[in-house]
Amino acid sequence: MALPPSPTPPTVRRSTHTDTYHGQVVADPYRWLEDAGSPETQAFVEDQNTLTRMVLDALPQRAALLERLGELWNYPRRSAVWKEGRAYFQLRNSGLQNQFVLYVMDSPTAEGRVLLDPNTLSDDGTVALSGLAVSRDASRLAYAVSTGGSDWQEWRVRDVASGVDLPDVLPDSKFSGATWLPDGSGFLYARYDRPGEEQRLSGANLNQRLWLHRLGTPQAADELVLERPDQPEWGFGTTVTEDGAWLIVNVWKGTARQNLIWVRPLGDSGPFQEVVAEFGASFEFVGNDGPLLYFLTDDQTPLGRLISHDLGTGERRDIVPEGQHRLLGAEMVAGGFVLHTLEDASSRLTLVDRHGQHARPVTLPGLGTVAALSGESGSHEVFLTFTSFLAPASGYRLEVTSGALTLLWTPELAVDLGGYEVRQEFADSPDGTRVPLFIVARRDLTLDGSHPTLLYGYGGFDISLTPAFDVSRLAWLEAGGVLAVANLRGGGEYGKDWHQAGTRERKQNVFDDFAACARFLTGRGYTSPRHLGIEGGSNGGLLVGATLTQHPELIGAAVAHVGVLDMLRFQHFTIGWAWVSDYGSSQDAQDFAVLRAYSPLHNLKAQAYPPTLLTTGDHDDRVVPAHSYKFAAELQRVQQGAAPTLLRVQTRAGHGAGKPTRLILEEKADVYAFLLAALG
């Protein structure tokens, strides 16, 4: 069944508001939609949701898809195990629980007991765990909760033995973990000044401060450890070394992979030693042998290397020099390190000694993704998960001495995946760059161009799209669909240079890569333009918006989730200023010219566009929903064809993290029903 012709969209008021950028006047007729709490904006959301439900609820596929998604989703899942003191911890979901439940165990394979069930914290499942930290002796748990999808966190403390919360409650935290003192008397965390209610969803997040909270004291008594009012964009993450000797502060500024490293003896209130004193590269603390610190860095090595830094002498040495593939991570273990590298977007593990010598590859179950590596510097065991497009995440224990990988648990699916296969292909971008893409489809697929195909991409912020299992995608494959996942420039699959090639004035490379993947899929006969759908979220929503405005002829439908779509104003809201490292800023004349040339909102014109579904959350305080509101209003206005433009606004939901299972399944059913109807 095809999508029916679009009902007449609601009339949306256009104001005469304009802004002037470097002498150029730019109209912003929907500026009023940036006020999420105004009655007019709320009426707009209600009208749009009414239109969207009118179309989606009439699709006969939706009910069947929702039922099938519930069946597929209903299988037990677990996170990787991690160890603190003599206890082991793991997150589990029995199948359709809205939120994962935290367990504590005596061994990695024990049944254990429930330590924290966030499903009991709200009736609708919209209160989620957003942070966890267990004290060294495993007697206390610091945990953060977020409500309605917000990035704002409230830290609480639970006694592990009794499962009872202590009186400590610490609101107003954001973009922060918790780091326990070795004796468990308190922990370090970061927070912002409490915003006014109107600023909580959209106000800029600046002037983060680092605090020490002592258990049993009110938040007002917290000790200020670090602030930099002269640098309002700086934020602070912390690590206490395993030996309890050093406090390490990671100073970040936005989303750029550049940071400072400051170190001082734990408990000392004197000045920090600036181990990395200038923003210019990424330095990730790995571990220490006394005053000898180990870092993973891309300083002068785009693919990464492992180095040592002597706090006494300042001497640095290469432990693992730059190799042929992206060095993504390193875990310090007894006698050496576990290295995690990416080769054509798939994981590899290697064991080396403390000098980076005597490399021993670890045999993995196949081509896929290693996640959640966790171990201790003196431990002979490391825990991890492994997943791929056709293998749900399974838990493993790596024995360091022998290099043996032991399966601890694997999910049982009530579905046979043997009829599908994964292929890796390479498309040629216009400048000759080879762009990898994974293709998942039935083994007996006939390449006749008739198959509904979903092309997914991201292409930004050094984030790699590696093979991972998403059970909801089985509903798409079962319906005869093809899935393609593109590894675009701007991501991190091939290191720093690959990332930088998709940023700022080079951002067009990302859109060109995606278009090249679309042409590859149609040229090889996997699909044809009218059967090709595109999907992406956040920065990937920008990707979808830019592709829709630049190449509507290549696609049959578009789905953009929580997209960054107004490239002239993103930096004015919440943490948007942090994305300037990838995008640039309209406040700079050269950046403005680049942004204006591809900003999806500002490049819509009167013509026929393919069916488009935009999704956002009314509590998204990362990419504020005004991006989607304004884009939807303008696309509906200029649409010259019969295809619908739908805006789906989820209430009590944010950017995506912590979204309850119930809401995820409903959204997936809407998306797949929309795409199947649109693509035929």
Residues that are catalytic:
538, 655
- Cα angle, residue 59 at apex, residues 680 and 148 outer, rounded to 5°: 115
DSSP 621: S
DSSP 121: S
Instruction: Yes or no: say if 481 and 526 are a contact pair by the CB < 8 Å rule.
Output: no
CA dist 181 → 267, 630, 679 (Å)? 9, 47, 56
Instruction: Yes or no: say if 263 and 312 are a contact pair by the CB < 8 Å rule.
Output: no
* Residues comprising the chain, all counted: 680
Pairing of strands 87-93, 77-78: antiparallel
**What's the token pair of residue 225?**
């450890």
Closest CA to 676 of 611, 615, 616, 614: 611
Which stretches within 140-184 are classed as H helix?
A: none
- Cα angle, residue 217 at apex, residues 211 and 219 outer, rounded to 5°: 45
Instruction: Yes or no: say if 94 and 76 are a contact pair by the CB < 8 Å rule.
Output: yes
- Quickly list DSSP for 472-527: THHHHHHTT-EEEEE--TTSSTT-HHHHHTTSGGGTHHHHHHHHHHHHHHHHTTS-
**What's the token pair of residue 669?**
């059913």
The residues near 354 (Cβ < 8 Å, ≥ 6 apart) are 289, 319, 335, 336, 337
User: What is the distance of C-alpha 32 from the center of its chain?
Assistant: 29
Return the sign of the alpha-carbon dihedral for residues 84, 86, 87, 88: positive
Can you tell me the distance from the alpha carbon of 284 to that of 260, in angstroms, rounded to the nearest whole number? 10
Instruction: Yes or no: say if 26 and 596 are a contact pair by the CB < 8 Å rule.
Output: yes
Residue with tokens 């254990």: 112
Q: What three-state secondary structure class fits 103? A: strand
DSSP 78: E
Q: State which H helix or E strand residue 424 sits in.
A: strand 420-428
Q: What three-state secondary structure class fits 388? A: strand
**What's the token pair of residue 295?**
């870092």
Can you tell me the distance from the alpha carbon of 272 to that of 480, in angstroms, rounded to the nearest whole number? 59
Can you tell me the distance from the alpha carbon of 431 to that of 560, in angstroms, rounded to the nearest whole number? 26
**What's the token pair of residue 424?**
């890796």
